[in-house]
Structure 1
Amino acid sequence: MRKPWSMHKRKGIYQTQLYDYTNKKYLTAKSTGTKDRNEAMLIAYRRAMEFDSGIAAEYTEWVKNVSMITLSNEKHPLNTEMAAMIQAACQDAVAKTLQTILYNKNTEQPYSVSAAEYEDAPEEAKLLLDQLSTLTFYDYTQLYWDYDKSPHIQGFIRRGETPPNPERFHDRARAIKKYAKFFPQCLLTEITGAKIDTLLGAIKKEGNLKDSTIKVFRYIFSQALSYAYQHNLITRDVAHQISRETKSAQKKAKKEAEKAIFTKEELNRLFNSDDNPFVLEVYKLLNELLFKTGCRIGELQALQIQDVIKTEKGYAIKVDKNYSRSGKRIKCTKTERTDMVPISDTLAAKLVAHIEKHPLKDKPDAFIFFSAQNIHSPMSYTAIRKNFIATMETLNFTRPNLTLHSYRHTYATFLLMAGFSEKELKVATRHDCIAEVWRYADHYTPEIEQLKHRAIIALDTMIS
């Protein structure tokens, strides 16, 4: 008689196939989601019972009634003593196996890896392997996003590589602490995708958060769990067990995160009118630069006098750094490269005139847009944003997702309407990939609606 199931590995994960005694064939293989053989056997046993509750009785009865043995293709009856010995041996083996499975499943003990796997683990991972018997999921997640203690960051340092910027880690760590009370009270080795789904639901409800924000929390957990799986801290790839966003949720999150763009009429009112809606000239100049260069706000905050360069074709600004408002420091640009961004003669004249009034105009490293509180520091994002919001409210331009970054989206969209190719847009917006370009340029405008009508006319003309 066949065993109720067969077992094999696929990419390190145990797969089980139940045997259908009625149709005399194995069913489709299913993953147990674990690398642990004992746990996989227990899962297989439970699946077999769910598939056919009579399997256990049938299989056990077969073991008890062993009375034949095959020798040289001939069946010979066993004597009573031999049959009793085989039956006792089978029962003892089954009992020991089940005892081992239940012990490994229900007792709290450190998850163990082989000596070779432990020896190959990096030092920062070994420290975690040594404390798995008491390491909770919350403590691990908090540790992973603690920039100064993170094993992920320590790995970069050990390999002599440049670690990521700390601001993102600090933001994630604050978010984890804020919602600590909702974390499941379990060990890291006991975490499951279902528990994280419940955690995400509680966080969303407590903070009344948008789907786009929950997407960030999903990333917080999946990245930490991916590291844990890669370094044998957990036996299952739990990150892939977390429920993915539905298509409707993805569309909703995309809509929530999508920036609004300015219309031509609004831009003319902002920069071509007789009065200055921003009140102060420095704010008008900064906003105009945001639109006409497509720069990010942090890149203009970090702009120094030495970055305004006169060339044979006119003026250009050198963009090679960004100001981190959360870290309050200068860092590299998002693309980690240096770009020269040309500006028109008219805009250059305004920028040069502004620099001429600068109290530190003779110092090349002075910030062009400096703080009113500290002339040696960049103008604060809070001050720029406050002026922007006040101006939009005064002009009645306010609408959801219209922000300072909307200038950059407007820049890309208008270049697309002007006939720039994807490759040209990639260069102009200083992106690394076309997909990112389309995220900025894929906005609806009245001009795009007119293209639809032009398409109808063009088709009618072609077939007339």
Structure 2
Amino acid sequence: MRRFYLHKRGSVFYAELITTAGVKLNARSTGKKTRDEALLVVADWLKEGLPVVKQPGYLAGTESSKSKPISVVADRAGILSAIKKAVLERDDAFAIVAALRAKGLIDIPVVATGKGNVKFIDYLKEFWDYEKSPYVRDKLAHGHSIGRHHCTLNHGRVVNYWEPFFKDRALNTITRQDIKTFSLGLSDTGRSPSTINGIMVLGTSALSYAAQEGYIPLDPCKGIARFSGKPAKRGILTEKEAEAIFNLDWAEKRAYLANKVAATTGMRAGEILALRREDIGEQSLHIRHSYSRLDGLKTPKNGDERKAPLYPEIKTELLALVDEAETLHGKGAYIFYSLTNEKPCQDDLILDGLHDAIKKLNEKFEKEGRELEKIDWKARNIVFHSWRHYWAARMSDRMTAEQLTRITGHKSRAVFDQYADHITEDNIKEVSNVGREVFGGILKFPEPKGA
């Protein structure tokens, strides 16, 4: 039986080899311009196998060449021929490419049809659209918490970071290497590790969900490492600074009282904004809700109600403010009211109030020649949430971590769940007694004169 055919294309001879099973392989160049030289190359192929990679200085039959037996190449040709002729379903295609990936021959397959054949960026935008996202519906249906603010933040990050890089790419063409290149590009911009991880996780979550739901056969982000590094530390005011700030006349009483509540209870901004008259107890504040601009009224972070200590001085101020709110909006009004009955004031008001108070204190220091005592809140990263850290820092020397987590709602879930249902008025009184010593300098100051 004939083993090969030799013919010339241009000035170079090509050979078509025939296997012992009678399968004719695709023609390949011998690289030779004379018939005799070409015959020597073909003879070498029949003996040693077909070359896979030609390395510099390649000579037929030398150890510098890599080759495969003709039967193996014939098997591959047969496989390719069978695939071309076969009637394949989408699952069959997935099985084929999964086998290729298992051999390390490809990264992630490309599927020409199906749910994965959509623009990647359009998929991401819908994934983080609170109203349209099947992912959000799944989370909510299974009792998990996911807020509009979180979705809106990630939707914005899709537009700002993912879209300029991936542009019109299809979902089913995104590879592991694409994700790595994108993440390294973010790293080169000098952004903090926590910021980069926040940008990355919105995409990795979406791609993981796409693989889980069968939009794409494999998750290209599986095993992608997160960037390590500590997030920017939130600054806190010193005890003397806090006392000096609350000893000022604030321009806005709601901002003054909200900051005072945060400093003496460790409550979050949204939890304070959500307070109503029914949340004011004898010795404690009942933290049943949180409020955000996008989500409206919702459960507190981590989903658990809790209590925080309420000092008589602050209770008096809260009751006075809620009287004012209910005079304006009627029963059930938010204590930290806005001009609209349906929602409290914006969180900007209470944060701006804090920064305005710091500015006023700095001006006071400047007049008194105390320049070195001025507070650079931007450099120190002092925000409203800093009061939560301030409270914990002031109380941590006097109480155990267990006692503090009962009040703050931090979850360390295994620890918190053991005690969350057992926060009694005695516990609150215990914390309140310690707090009175710690925050006495804040509590003694009078209500500001501003309206």
TM range (shorter): 0.5 to 0.7
SS at match of 2:284: strand
Tell me if the contact between 2:291 and 2:297 (Cα under 8 Å) persists in the aligned partners: yes
Match of 2:410 among 423, 431, 435: 431
How many angstroms apart in 2 are the aligned matches of 1:421 and 1:132?
53
Match of 2:275 in 1: 303
C-alpha deviation, 1:286, in angstroms: 1.6
Change (3 A) 1:375 1:138: closer
* C-alpha deviation, 1:168, in angstroms: 1.3
What does residue range 90-169 of structure 1 map to in structure 2 within 5 Å? 92-97=74-79, 112-113=93-94, 131-132=114-115, 134-156=117-139, 161=143, 164-169=146-151
2:220 is matched with: 238
Which amino acid letter does the alignment assign opposite residue 129 of structure 2? Answer: D
Q: Secondary structure at the match of 2:136?
A: helix
- The DSSP-based 3-state class of the residue aligned with 1:134 is coil
Deviation at 1:162, TM superposition (A): 5.6
Question: Amino acid of the residue matched to residue 324 of structure 1?
Answer: S
Partners of 1:411 and 1:342 in 2: CA distance: 12
Q: Which of structures 1 and 2 has the bigger CA Rg?
A: 2
**Distance of aligned partners of 1:102 and 1:292 in 2 relative to their CA distance in 1, 3 Å threshold:** farther
Deviation at 1:307, TM superposition (A): 1.3
What is the CA–CA distance in structure 2 between the aligned matches of 1:387 and 1:376, rounded to whole Å?
22
Letter in 1 for 2:159: K
Give how far 1:223 is off: 0.7
Q: Which residue is equivalent to 1:214?
A: 196
CA RMSD of aligned residues (A): 3.7
* 1:99 Cα deviation after fit: 5.6
Residues paired across the two proteins, number: 326
Deviation at 1:237, TM superposition (A): 3.0
Matched to 2:345, the amino acid is M
CA pair 131-319 structure 1, distance change in 2 beyond 3 A: same
Secondary structure at 1:340 match in 2: strand
Gaps of at least 5 residues in structure 1 are: 1-47, 64-89, 115-127, 438-464
Q: SS of the counterpart of 1:335?
A: helix
User: Hey, what's the Cα distance between the residues in 1 that align with 2:298 and 2:116?
Assistant: 40
Q: How does 1:294-333 map to 2 (within 5 A)?
A: 294-310=266-282, 315-327=283-295, 329-333=296-300
1:381 counterpart residue number: 347
Structure-2 change in CA distance of 1:232 and 1:363 (3 Å): same
Matched AA of 2:397: M
1:136 touches 1:188 (CA, 8 Å); kept in 2?
yes
1:344 maps onto 2:326 in alignment: no
Runs (4+) of structure 1 moved beyond 6 Å? 48-51, 53-56, 100-104, 434-437
Equivalent residue number for residue 197 of structure 1:
180
Hey, what does 1:261 align to over in structure 2? 236
- Is the CA contact (8 Å cut-off) linking 1:320 and 1:332 kept in structure 2? yes
Q: For residue 69 of structure 2, give the secondary structure of its aligned residue in structure 1.
A: helix
Percent of aligned positions that are identical? 22
Q: CA deviation at 1:360?
A: 2.5
| Contact 1:110–1:133 under 8 Å retained in 2 | no
Q: Are residues 110 and 55 of structure 1, via their aligned partners in 2, closer, same or farther at CA, if it must alter by over 3 Å? A: farther
Alpha-carbon shift at residue 201 of structure 1 (Å): 4.8
Q: Which amino acid aligns with 1:353?
A: A
Give the counterpart letter for 1:285 in structure 2.
L
Counterpart CA distance in 1 for 2:92 and 2:117 is 10
SS at match of 2:236: coil
d(CA) in 2 for partners of 1:111, 1:138: 27
Corresponding residue of 1:37: none
1:410 alignment partner AA: Y
Distance 2:64 2:78 in 1: 20
Q: What is the one-letter code of the residue matched to 1:199?
A: F
Q: Which has the higher contact order (CA 8 A, sep 6+)?
A: 2
Change in Cα spacing, 1:436 to 1:386, as seen in structure 2 (3 Å) is farther
**TM-score (normalizing by structure 2):** 0.63
Would you say the 8 A contact 2:130–2:136 is kept in 1? yes
Gaps of 5+ in 2: 1-51, 56-61, 96-110, 362-373, 417-451
Map 1:413-424 onto structure 2 (within 5 A).
Answer: 413-418=393-398, 420-424=399-403
